[in-house]
Amino acid sequence: MSAEESWTVTATIPDRNLKPAVNETSGFDSGTGIFRSVYNLDEHHVLPTRPNLDTATYVLSQFPSPYEAESPIALIDSATGGKVTYAQLHRSIRSLATGLYHALGVRKGDVVFVLSPNSLLYPTICLAVLSVGAILTTANPLNTESEIAKQVSDSGAKLAISAPEELHKLTPTGVPTVLTSKLASKDESLTIEELIEACEPVEIEQERPTQSDTAAILYSSGTTGTSKGVILTHANFISVMTLLKWCVEVSKAQQDVFLCFIPMFHIYGLAFFGLGLFCSKTTTVLMQKFDFKAMLDAIETYKVSNIPAVPPVILALVKHASKAGCDLSSLRRVGSGAAPLSNEVAEEFRRRFPWVELRPGYGLTESCGAATYYVSDEEAKLHSASCGRLLPKFCAKIVDPETGKPLPPYKEGELWLKSGTIMKEYLGKKEATAETIGTDGWLKTGDLCYFDDNGFLYIVDRIKELIKHNGYQVAPAELEAILLGHPQIVDTAIIPVEVEEAGQIPMAYVVRAANSQLTEDQVIEYVARQVAPYKKVRRVGFISAIPRSAAGKILRKELVLHSKNQTISRL
């Protein structure tokens, strides 16, 4: 062997003192600054790669056989007890798709606007619209007439499907509208119920949508800015449903019964209850809208085992459930998403309900509702302030907002995400799309976060919501978590108030408990004892309720406007 050959061989021997670039525990690659999921999909949860596959076809392929003698229950109306089997749901979807195509002329690429609260019909409508290759856009029934008109125009809706009580908001738009049910006994309007009954399912002879085609345009909550239409493809939904199926089944111990009060017009409700859970053949008890006592009754009556929830609901369970006297022993798991859940509330929940697994998660409309998850309750307890680890097929970076460089564990920066669930773009907003999605496909979330050395993600706050006080950054979520620990505070929100000498100061809006005489000075002192001086609350306003989006996010811009109006009125 020559000297050159000898050098070549010895140069390839690894240095055993060097650590591998990718840490198997955290998924962090020190060479690239990228965190990768430490979880993998198994052979039962393979992500479909066939390009000519659409969301509805994928979901229906996961249904139990429609010819089973006793089809499993898919949906239960919590108020009436009415049930829909998987066989009935399968037929309704195909019948409505036939009616939309042949009777109403809905074609591939047409936008269908849905304005309705949760109902047994909602999943049928969504899957039927997607079955004909049309594009789904959904709206909050609480939206005003002008907000509805703006979304109808922005999305280019060709047809609307509306609950009868919301029809008056759509009439001024001139868009053809089909009601979900009769407005009155003598009403001659065509309804979705009639279409389902009248139309025998037949094959739709047109080009099927592909994974790259648009499936839905969902409008972000606009809690800090204007609402934008998020374009999600069939590939996005198929990816998120595969992950959801894995999440449900990876820790499934028995037949699950889920409770749905999350609105299906929101990505959380749509991805979970309108589409995804059917892939796991579970049963869902459906509430038209959230009511705390009705929720407790539904859990007891239908032996609910799983509740995908939002932080205000978990807070209500902590503060009020023990007084209601309902049997919650069937509960096994409560999820939390759509908004941050404070560690204090999470710990108190686990203390009051020790038999229930609490599993917070994280996702955005722009990521089709997905990003992180806890595989086990042990993980959730050990890392209780976190929102879980990255889901399979996800990558992330923590990026320094000033330098743009990726950061290692325990360093705070903006969370960037990449996966098959990431949106295509914002509708008609090239500049906003370019600001949010880089040319290399990374979604810039706008959330200030960090990972620990086990790969668990911690949300600090929205970067745009950080309060800048005398050059220091104050996270509203931290102060809100402290205030929620006060026994006389039911709910709270922190906003910035502009002042000349310090830039901004934190102001707390507080909802007091019944009969509480809590004062502004007491609130200020309570926080001051627990934080650094620059984080202190400087003003307090008492309010009857904190304004929140349907998903539980604090609508801070409404409170900022309220504080400005209050200041003006005092001048």
pLDDT tens sequence across 430-453: 998 998 998 889 999 988 899 999
CATH number at residue 487: 3.30.300.30
What's the pLDDT at 111? 97
Local confidence band at 187 (pLDDT 50, 70, 90 cut-offs): low
Q: Is residue 250, in this structure, part of any structural domain at all?
A: no
Q: Is residue 175, in this structure, part of any structural domain at all?
A: yes
Question: Which contiguous run of DSSP H or E holds residue 98?
Answer: helix 86-98
> How far is the C-alpha of 417 from the C-alpha of 444, rounded, in Å?
7
Q: Which of the two residues, 384 and 309, has the higher pLDDT score?
A: 309
Last residue in a domain, options 165, 192, 209: 209
Lowest mean pLDDT among 9-23, 217-231, 256-270, 492-506: 9-23
Please state, as a whole number, how many other Cβ atoms lie within 10 Å of the Cβ of residue 171.
Answer: 12
Highest averaged pLDDT of the listed ranges 4-13, 180-189, 194-203 = 194-203
**Structural domain containing residue 523:** 466-570
What's the pLDDT at 540? 93
> How far is the C-alpha of 537 from the C-alpha of 523, rounded, in Å?
8
Give the three-class secondary structure for 259. Answer: strand
> How far is the C-alpha of 532 from the C-alpha of 534, rounded, in Å?
6
Q: Are 286 and 297 in contact (CB under 8 A)?
A: no
| Cross-strand partners of 364 | none
Highest averaged pLDDT of the listed ranges 21-30, 228-237, 322-331, 524-533 = 228-237
Span 354-405, pLDDT tens digits: 899 888 889 989 999 999 988 888 888 888 788 899 999 999 999 998 899 9
> How far is the C-alpha of 86 from the C-alpha of 74, rounded, in Å?
5
Q: Are 435 and 384 in contact (CB under 8 A)?
A: no
Question: Per-residue pLDDT averaged across 341-354, rounded?
Answer: 84
Mean pLDDT of the chain: 86
Does the pLDDT of residue 1 top 50, yes or no? no
The token duo for 225 is 């800015």
DSSP per residue, 304-333: --EEEE-HHHHHHHHHHHHHHT---TT--E
CA distances (Å), origin 518, targets 343, 372, 487: 24, 38, 10
Going by their DSSP bridges, the two strands 333-336 and 306-309 should be labelled as parallel
CA distances (Å), origin 120, targets 78, 197, 266, 286: 10, 15, 16, 7
Domain count, the chain: 2
Q: Is residue 500, in this structure, part of any structural domain at all?
A: yes
What's the pLDDT at 222? 53
Last residue in a domain, options 209, 234, 266: 209
Q: Evaluate if pTM is beyond 0.85.
A: no
> How far is the C-alpha of 142 from the C-alpha of 110, rounded, in Å?
25
What residue type is assigned to position 242 of the chain?
T
Q: Is residue 285, in this structure, part of any structural domain at all?
A: no
> How far is the C-alpha of 199 from the C-alpha of 97, rounded, in Å?
9
Nearest Cα residue to 144 out of 180, 164, 172: 172
Q: Is residue 491, in this structure, part of any structural domain at all?
A: yes
What's the pLDDT at 471? 64
What's the pLDDT at 253? 58
Residue 99 per-residue DSSP state: I
Please state, as a whole number, how many other Cβ atoms lie within 10 Å of the Cβ of residue 316.
Answer: 18
CATH number at residue 175: 3.40.50.980
Please state, as a whole number, how many other Cβ atoms lie within 10 Å of the Cβ of residue 88.
Answer: 17
Last residue in a domain, options 146, 179, 209: 209
The token duo for 525 is 């002192």
> How far is the C-alpha of 428 from the C-alpha of 153, rounded, in Å?
12
Lowest mean pLDDT among 124-128, 294-298, 550-554: 550-554
Does the pLDDT of residue 132 top 90, yes or no? yes
Q: Is residue 54, in this structure, part of any structural domain at all?
A: no
Does the pLDDT of residue 15 top 70, yes or no? no
Local confidence band at 138 (pLDDT 50, 70, 90 cut-offs): very high
Q: Which of the two residues, 162 and 7, has the higher pLDDT score?
A: 162
